[in-house]
Structure 1
Amino acid sequence: YSFKDALVLRLRLRDGGKKLLVSRPGQFIFLSPENIIDKKDLVSRDSFINHLRRIIRDCRITDITQQPCERIIDLMILCGDEKYILTLELIPRGVFVLRDSSNIIKALNKSLKTRDRVLKINSQYKYPPKTTNLYCEDDTSKILSSFRKGYDIVRGLVVGLGVPSDIAEEFIYRNNIDKSTDPKKLGDEEAMKIIDRLKRFLSELIQKPKPCIILGENNNVLEYYSYQPLSKGDVCVVESDFNDVLREYYLPRIKFFAETDLELSEFTRLKDQFIKDLEKISLDHQNLIKIKNFIDQNYYALENIFICYRESMRSRNREIACPSRDDLGCVYSVDKNILRISCGELLFEFDLMRDFRENYVEISKKISQLERGIEKIKENLNNLEKKILERRAELEKQRLVSEIRMRRRVEWFERFHWIITSEGFLAIGGRDIDQNETLVRKYLERDDLFFHADIHGGSVFILKKGTGAGEKSIIETAHLAGCYSKAWSAGYGSIDVFYVSGDQVSKTPPSGEYLPKGSFMIYGEKKWVRGVKMILGIGIEMVDSKYPRVIVGDPDYVRSRSSIYAIITPGNDSSREVAEKIVKKWLEKHREQEIFIRSLELDEVIRKIPGKSKIIFI
């Protein structure tokens, strides 16, 4: 997909989860949770995107490499027997290019022609020319020569040796170096001492990164670093994951809010036009009022002059002398049938084909028409102001929704069905046969409890550290194991669920037998939770009091954790229909929580619904 000129690759992970790989030429690349970007904002109708989708959609990324000491990423992609490389150039004037195993360009976000290379469809791809890079260059004389290209220490490190400017400044600060020093005036030994110290500094940053961010007044990320900059004091907040730092910095910068909103821009344009029209009509109205008042004050004098000019126009054989000026300070002239009158700043016309009274009434009519026009424009302006306020409010809501989605950390277990029991134990369940396999092979341990409904087909649930859990955690986990089984779609009212310890479960069949995918061997005695009812609560809980996420469980469990919830049972409506009804009703009933509800993706609710259902409470 394309998202505000960034490339978005939607990745399906081995464990069934999904991520977005977001990248922009010359700037950034980071992984993001799938729900960070609204699907409606993702664009697929783009020439470059269409080429990518046609060639590598549903293919597999087999490896990711970086060109040595270059901001160039290569994604190795396998499509059946065909191999491709998607190259992401994060350098100035960089491009995104897909090439085949013969290095022929198959898709390109833009053609490029420079002194060193020409890139276009069906041509050979060529990497950009390498520049001197301190971390990869071994030739001392070449390093010194490049260092001395700068007219001061900073330029020598940045321009000559390719060191990022912020790192160069930090290195100079930590080593108390006079950055105005001309590197050309340094001896080889002194210059190499600086370069050796810089190499050690760079190695430390690479091997022991300490990503941090500097926040603004509204907790927006102003700056980010892959290290703790001592030159910034203690204002840089340390983060655990550099990928999260990149996401928090760049994603808001490519979002689509009020400053670039097309609808708001159109409203603003119309408002400006209405204001101009109102100013013009108001001036016309004021002028006509002055004219009418002037006529009212000098009615008979003006009428007599009008009659004179009218008679003169009608007279064919005799001339009638009419004044071109009068004691009122007015100047008169005739053009065909129109008497033009100029009285100081007042300019107006009378139609000599009509009588004086008709002309006077016509001015009154125009005044009334302009007054109605003014009222209509004011009404339109008021309506437009309301629309502008509503749109700005909506855009602010979108901004808050996006910020919540961006900042909420998606836990690793949320790719599965899950519950944190009332006693604080984590239980995870498979959404499909592949996840069931993953759970048993990767996550099931000896002190866990394994749950499954007494029916063929259903989610495997694992209660982590379950051998030490109480009865309440066992019942709450069994409830989900029952609801996320075929019993729901079959319309059962209840189902029995068994559980065993982790060491009673095996993927190894008896000798000579075959164990199909999704099947497991259970050894020893099973324990049971009888009559698990097919009724499921779906609600919204707040993480850290500010980030919403969808929870499920038996209705009492969900009610205890959420004031926004619904209860469903097996029925005839599809999961999407049920989810749409639930979210719509939540928004109607809980307007004060609108931002939190909207920050949830509809798919997040859909995934919680076991199958065809009906709503019994919202």
Structure 2
Amino acid sequence: MKLKESSLDFYAFINIFRDDIENSFIKKIYQVNSKEFIFQIYRSDVKKRDFFISLTKGISFYSADRPDEASQLAMIFRKQLSEKRITGIEQINFDRVIKITLHTGQEIILELFGGGNLILTENGKIVFAMDQHVYRTRTIKIGEAYVPPSLINPIENFDVFKKIVNESTASLVKTLATRVNLGGEIAEEVLYRLNMDKNLMPHQMDDKILNQVYEEINVILKESLENRAYYYKDEEILSPIILKSLKRNPDDTFENFNDGIVSYLNNYPVEEKNKSSVEKRIESQKKSIEEFKKLMEIYTEFGNKLKMNIPSIEKLIKIVNGKVKNGDLNGFDYGDLKILGINPAKKIFTIDYNNINIDLNYTLSAGNNISNVFNTAKDYKNKIEGAERAIEETKKLIIKEREKVNQKKRPRYWFETYRWFFSSNGNMVLSGKDAKTNEKLVKKHMEDNDIYVHADLYGAPSTVIKNDGIEISEETINEACQFAICMSRAWPAGISSGTAYWVYPNQVSKTPESGEFISKGSWVIRGKRNYVFNLPLELKISLIKYKEYDIPMISPSSTRVESEKWVKIRPGNEKRNNAVEKISKILDVPRDEIEPILPPGGSVIIETSREIKELG
């Protein structure tokens, strides 16, 4: 993707995360802007998630800023879709079109190409469309049957693929990019891996060559399902596969495709994102310059025309004066000039010249009117020069804005897939965010010398203390236990203290007792559990230096952290969004750095580094 997901991106996302989406209920719907929405979905095992839909960028699990009040369109969607269960999500014909099926039989169609469209259907008929349009091959209008833009899946089987390529009059790379829906980057990648000339024409290929191409496409499709993301900074590309055609390693790798998308959306260069107010100002200034140039040319041309016909203009002024005396203020034609009307209050008459209304004063001579016309042309010339100077000043502001963005821009690290912190002794502590990451954390990252921690509550996250050459102390165990209870349902319940326990990795098993079942993300603990009691539910968000970047870290309040900026929180009634806003301002970091690390539920700020300094 290049801030606009491709068919391969949609293929990867839907197949990787289908299990997370299906059987979820749509709770609330928010309209972020005219083209972007958040569908808040809920399922008991994955809790609430923000399913982000951008009609111009794509789909992801992404917590965009929500408006304070629901828009009228969001309210309509809530009425139509809230509490409906998602029974299926699929990509239509390997195109940039997504279909979400609800248990009621309703369908949400996302057409994620061009300006994008969001369509609702019942029994196959369109009941709502953001953009109603009549195309050459289909009609998107209320009451019409929904017909997708592509009626066949170009990669469904070899025969279909072969037919599409053979019927194309374009080069192979263009055919793969457009008619097979691969997009330019992946089309070139396929041919690079096969060492084929991208300008090869369909008539130059036999079935053997075509089969090689088709097989390579399927290899790439399979690779895209590995749930990884690769970022290439110079090309500004995020891909679900390694792009061998770029002939270098990716600048960043994400172990979760969605994490890559979120990082990409947050850090994409400012000039390609939704334009800032400063950039919009430049666009407005450029449009003004174009308009001023047009008007300057028209007034100059009209002035020259009057200058060449002074006697005729003097006669016209006399005619207008006569009409004013007679009370005839209507328009009339005078040679090739069209007089639109006379305004005695302003002592002017208006001429239509090249669809521009130009006023002349009937109390002045032809010479004075001509001077006024040329002066108006000069005024527009001065406005052009002023707007050009303003653009240069505005460009300086853009440079400052980009510098500010680049200062905050940073890569996302692998451990940010989980909840995490560094203990007082330097051990990394990792905790799952949901059933999927609980499973992955233990299976992939827990080793023999580590320690497993769990709050003494059902459904709490699995927590692992890493022993990466640093001996695990009692202090670190206590901090990890406190972290585990804080990240559990104890926090939204408003409990002030809780209990957790720790065990060794060999006590953690996926094998249930006879007749029992172990769900995804859950584990069986055998043997002695080492309990830690009276753990306070209190956390600290500190700004720490990791590699070359300042990043916020949330940890137990007792954790010793070298940081000039920090905030302490405990469970409270402050809404999550409000807490995020306050903490981001205190630490001077973007909201999207804070929102993902906070525990579930409400929080209240109890102490900050700023307050300590002020008191001191």
Counterpart AA for 1:192: D
Establish whether residue 540 from structure 1 lines up as the match of residue 532 from structure 2.
no
State the alpha-carbon separation in 1 of the partners of residues 413 and 247 from structure 2: 28
**Corresponding residue for residue 418 of structure 2:** 413
State the alpha-carbon separation in 2 of the partners of residues 223 and 450 from structure 1: 36
**Corresponding residue for residue 278 of structure 1:** none
**Corresponding residue for residue 21 of structure 1:** 52
Establish whether residue 65 from structure 1 lines up as the match of residue 112 from structure 2.
no
**Corresponding residue for residue 84 of structure 1:** 106
**Corresponding residue for residue 247 of structure 2:** 233
Equivalent of 1:39 in 66, 72, 79: 66
**Corresponding residue for residue 215 of structure 1:** 233
- Equivalent pair of 1:150/1:159 in contact (CA under 8 Å): no
State the alpha-carbon separation in 1 of the partners of residues 107 and 535 from structure 2: 51
Establish whether residue 473 from structure 1 lines up as the match of residue 476 from structure 2.
yes
State the alpha-carbon separation in 1 of the partners of residues 556 and 35 from structure 2: 41
Deviations 1:77-130 (A, max 9, x none): 34xxx2322122345686432212x11223212112123222212332223352
SS in 2 for 1:194: helix
Establish whether residue 97 from structure 1 lines up as the match of residue 119 from structure 2.
yes
SS in 1 for 2:418: helix
Establish whether residue 564 from structure 1 lines up as the match of residue 582 from structure 2.
no
- Please state how far the C-alpha of 1:207 moved relative to its aligned partner: 2.4
**Corresponding residue for residue 131 of structure 2:** 110
- Equivalent pair of 2:421/2:553 in contact (CA under 8 Å): no
- Equivalent pair of 2:568/2:605 in contact (CA under 8 Å): no
Aligned positions of 1:146-545 closer than 5 A: 147=166, 149-150=168-169, 153-154=172-173, 164-170=183-189, 172=191, 183-184=202-203, 186=204, 191-209=206-224, 212-216=230-234, 221=236, 226-230=241-245, 232-234=246-248, 239=253, 252=268, 255-258=273-276, 261-262=279-280, 392=398, 395-396=401-402, 399-400=405-406, 403-404=409-410, 407=412, 411-414=416-419, 419-421=421-423, 422=425, 424=427, 426=429, 428=431, 448-452=452-456, 460=460, 462-464=462-464, 469-480=472-483, 497=499, 499=501, 501=503, 527=530, 529=532, 532=535, 536-545=539-548
- Residues 526 and 194 of structure 1: is their aligned pair in 2 closer, same or farther, counting only changes over 3 Å? closer
- Equivalent pair of 1:535/1:568 in contact (CA under 8 Å): yes
- Residues 260 and 60 of structure 1: is their aligned pair in 2 closer, same or farther, counting only changes over 3 Å? farther
- Please state how far the C-alpha of 1:221 moved relative to its aligned partner: 0.5
Establish whether residue 554 from structure 1 lines up as the match of residue 557 from structure 2.
yes
Counterpart AA for 1:124: A
Establish whether residue 120 from structure 1 lines up as the match of residue 141 from structure 2.
yes
In the superposition, the TM-score normalised over structure 1's length comes to 0.56
State the alpha-carbon separation in 2 of the partners of residues 123 and 397 from structure 1: 50
State the alpha-carbon separation in 1 of the partners of residues 42 and 148 from structure 2: 29
Q: Which runs of 5+ in 2 are unaligned?
A: 1-30, 292-363, 369-382, 516-522, 611-616
In the superposition, the TM-score normalised over structure 2's length comes to 0.56
Q: Which runs of 5+ in 1 are unaligned?
A: 274-337, 343-376, 512-519, 588-596
State the alpha-carbon separation in 2 of the partners of residues 486 and 450 from structure 1: 13
- Residues 465 and 116 of structure 1: is their aligned pair in 2 closer, same or farther, counting only changes over 3 Å? same
- Residues 607 and 155 of structure 1: is their aligned pair in 2 closer, same or farther, counting only changes over 3 Å? closer
State the alpha-carbon separation in 2 of the partners of residues 204 and 496 from structure 1: 50
Counterpart AA for 1:21: F
Counterpart AA for 1:130: L
- Residues 111 and 536 of structure 1: is their aligned pair in 2 closer, same or farther, counting only changes over 3 Å? closer
**Root-mean-square deviation (Å):** 5.9
- Residues 53 and 171 of structure 1: is their aligned pair in 2 closer, same or farther, counting only changes over 3 Å? same
Deviations 1:150-190 (A, max 9, x none): 16555666677666455554555555656666544x5xxx6
Equivalent of 1:615 in 599, 607, 610: 607
SS in 2 for 1:126: coil
Counterpart AA for 2:553: V
State the alpha-carbon separation in 1 of the partners of residues 436 and 196 from structure 2: 59
State the alpha-carbon separation in 1 of the partners of residues 53 and 550 from structure 2: 23
State the alpha-carbon separation in 1 of the partners of residues 172 and 436 from structure 2: 58
- Equivalent pair of 1:99/1:106 in contact (CA under 8 Å): yes
State the alpha-carbon separation in 1 of the partners of residues 163 and 47 from structure 2: 51
Establish whether residue 52 from structure 1 lines up as the match of residue 77 from structure 2.
yes
State the alpha-carbon separation in 1 of the partners of residues 95 and 491 from structure 2: 55
State the alpha-carbon separation in 1 of the partners of residues 404 and 478 from structure 2: 39
- Equivalent pair of 2:38/2:50 in contact (CA under 8 Å): no
Counterpart AA for 2:501: Y
Counterpart AA for 1:234: R
SS in 2 for 1:257: coil
State the alpha-carbon separation in 2 of the partners of residues 174 and 489 from structure 1: 55
- Please state how far the C-alpha of 1:604 moved relative to its aligned partner: 5.5
Choose 1 or 2 for highest CA Rg: 1
**Corresponding residue for residue 315 of structure 2:** none
- Please state how far the C-alpha of 1:565 moved relative to its aligned partner: 1.2
- Please state how far the C-alpha of 1:472 moved relative to its aligned partner: 1.7
- Residues 260 and 574 of structure 1: is their aligned pair in 2 closer, same or farther, counting only changes over 3 Å? closer
- Mean alpha-carbon deviation: is it higher for 175-184 or for 82-91? 175-184
SS in 1 for 2:106: strand
SS in 1 for 2:248: coil
- Please state how far the C-alpha of 1:613 moved relative to its aligned partner: 5.6
- What is the number of equivalent residue pairs in this alignment? 465
Deviations 1:411-434 (A, max 9, x none): 3433xxx5443352535489xxxx
State the alpha-carbon separation in 1 of the partners of residues 167 and 494 from structure 2: 77
- Equivalent pair of 1:537/1:553 in contact (CA under 8 Å): yes
- Equivalent pair of 1:450/1:463 in contact (CA under 8 Å): yes
Deviations 1:332-367 (A, max 9, x none): xxxxxx9xxx9xxxxxxxxxxxxxxxxxxxxxxxxx
**Corresponding residue for residue 363 of structure 1:** none
- Equivalent pair of 2:431/2:441 in contact (CA under 8 Å): no
Deviations 1:265-316 (A, max 9, x none): 679999999xxxxxxxxxxxxxxxxxxxxxxxxxxxxxxxxxxxxxxxxxxx
- Residues 391 and 161 of structure 1: is their aligned pair in 2 closer, same or farther, counting only changes over 3 Å? closer
